[in-house]
A and B are shown apart, each in its own frame.
Chain A
């Protein structure tokens, strides 16, 4: 590989206008292409082709000029690659090209996962379908479970209603959702749907444990149900 450093002459000051050296009378009908001179500069040409190019080079000023310019360009690019400019971070450029698609795919997948998790944890402006939650008054380890901040459709079976209350209109009942410490979370009326009473909680609930209290027309507590939001 040739050295592309200092030059004791200034080729760039003598731009040849043609391939003919008038004094010696050599006229070149064709010249190697710039791509070929580049391959020569990189040392990637077969030896047989190198011979022809070098014979041409000795007598052709135009190609001497071309090769000199290419040498300067390649040298500048090589030194730039060896010494990145201060303050710049070509992290992406330093990653091998073969691994870039994998890295890009992993990043996109990660962003998708993060986006889905983030969306599911936020207010459900994207998914407005209420999640049906069947409330049961049996205390114990099993509590009704609901997703976080999803619209909820709290369902109470008719069987949960005391017999003396069955004939009352649904509007006679009030459903209240309180936090584990008794603080109010939501309050609303019930609607009949078949053999169930349903209350819609459009904004959903934050993560935590709640008590759902069913009140009668006289604000009497008829039933209390447990509800866990955000945990399976």
Chain B
């Protein structure tokens, strides 16, 4: 367990700790309109085994009773996913702080008994994380609108990156173009429509006169060929990650 997070969680367990507004969380996960009338938000996810739900309930109980191994297990279970989600939404800046804030809020809420359905722990964590994202975005917008940096000597980083990164980027670009050229016209059309033009499956099927099954098969085959051709052409490790995973994932 991250030492920093462990200390922060321990501090949050103190009765004197006051969470900020952004850290406050509703007692239950949000009910969304899209869930539909009559939808029971406490319904368990059928993809999760019943034993797993039981272990979540037991985990929540351990946290409520202040057992440190409970917090450690909570961290091991969700830290990676929270880090991935936050980085994906907000970027890598201040990532550890955001993860720390999330755990503080979750642990505090569990300790106060605000999680009435322990089996909904995953949904609860998701709600907390989304609130963190929304609060961060709101803060950034507020700062941008209402604050002016008076330090005119502040250097602005060149978003283009260093020359090596630019060269890598250009090389990757050329390689992808070359691979696309090598594909059959149909494969290229499928990939171009779906990934470059971001057309939906329904639109592509309608315009290319394909059934859903045909589309899935064609797209899968096109991606596989794209990966195979790319592997033959590439030389750079970073480029490998695109082509190797693309073909490997489709081979099983």
Which residues from chain A contact B196 at a C-beta distance below 8 Å? 77-78, 80-81
Indicate if A64 sits at the interface (CB-CB under 8 A).
yes
Query: Which residue of A is nearest B30, CB measured?
Result: A51
For the complex, give the distance between the alpha carbons of A5 and B36 in Å.
Answer: 35
- Scan residues 187-217 of chain B and give those whose CB is less than 8 A from a CB of chain A: 188-189, 191-193, 195-198, 200, 207, 216
Indicate whether A84 reaches chain B with its CB closer than 8 angstroms.
yes
| Whole-angstrom CA separation of A83 from B207 in the bound complex | 26
Per-residue interface assignment for chain B, residues 118 to 132, with 1 indicating a CB less than 8 Å from any chain A CB and 0 otherwise: 000011011001100
Known: A9-B83, A27-B51, A60-B81. A93 touches B192 (CB 8 A): yes
Q: Are A55 and B189 in contact (CB under 8 A)?
A: no
Cβ-closest chain B residue relative to A8: B92
A28-B47, A84-B177 given; A76·B198 CB < 8 A: no
For A30, the chain B residues whose CB sits under 8 A away are 46-47
In the complex the two chains form, what is the Cα distance from A79 to B177 in whole Å? 11
- What's the tally of chain B residues with a CB closer than 8 Å to chain A? 65
Interface of B, secondary structure class, is helix
The answer to whether B81 and A34 have CB atoms under 8 Å apart is: no
Min CB–CB distance A80 → chain B (angstroms): 5
A164 CB–B CB distance under 8 Å: no
Q: Which residues B1-49 have CB closer than 8 A to chain A?
A: 32-36, 45-49
B89 within 8 A of A: yes
Assembled-state Cα–Cα distance A9/B82 (Å): 12
B interface residues with partner A (beta carbon < 8 Å): 32-36, 45-49, 51-52, 55-56, 59, 73-74, 76-78, 80-85, 87-92, 95, 122-123, 125-126, 129-130, 169, 172-174, 176-178, 180-181, 188-189, 191-193, 195-198, 200, 207, 216, 241-242, 245-246, 249
| Residues on the B chain within 8 Å of A8, using CB | 83, 87, 92, 95
Could you tell me if A64 and B172 are in contact, using CB atoms closer than 8 angstroms? no
A85: Cβ under 8 A from any B Cβ: yes
By a CB distance below 8 angstroms, the chain A residues around B197 are: 81
Judge whether A85 and B77 touch: CB under 8 Å. no
Q: Point out the residues of chain A lying under 8 angstroms from B193, CB to CB.
A: 97
Q: A147 CA to B104 CA in the complex, in Å?
A: 94
Contact (Cβ within 8 A) A57 B123: no
Name the distance in Å between B251's Cβ and chain A's nearest Cβ. Answer: 13
Q: What separation, in Å, do the CA atoms of A69 and B48 have in the docked complex?
A: 23
Q: Is the CB of A55 within 8 A of B195?
A: no
Residues of A within 8 A of B74 (CB): 24
Instruction: Enumerate 25 A-B pairs (CB-CB under 8 Å) in ascending A order.
Output: A2-B88, A3-B90, A12-B245, A26-B77, A27-B51, A27-B52, A44-B200, A48-B34, A48-B35, A48-B36, A54-B130, A58-B126, A58-B129, A59-B122, A61-B81, A64-B84, A68-B84, A73-B195, A74-B195, A77-B176, A79-B169, A85-B173, A85-B178, A90-B177, A97-B207
CB contacts (< 8 Å) of B82 on chain A: these are 58
Query: How big is chain A's contact interface, by range?
Result: 35 or more
Q: For the complex formed, measure the closest distance between the CB of A6 and the CB atoms of chain B, giving whole angstroms.
A: 5
Q: Does A194 touch B at the CB level, under 8 Å?
A: no
Cβ–Cβ < 8 Å partners of B56 in chain A: 26
Q: Which residues of B contact A46 (CB under 8 A)?
A: 34
The reply to whether the CB of A35 lies closer than 8 angstroms to some CB of chain B is yes
Q: Is there contact, CB below 8 Å, between B177 and A80?
A: yes
Given A28-B48, A35-B216, A88-B181, 9 more A-B residue pairs with CB atoms under 8 Å apart are A7-B87, A9-B87, A25-B55, A28-B52, A29-B49, A51-B32, A57-B81, A59-B78, A81-B196
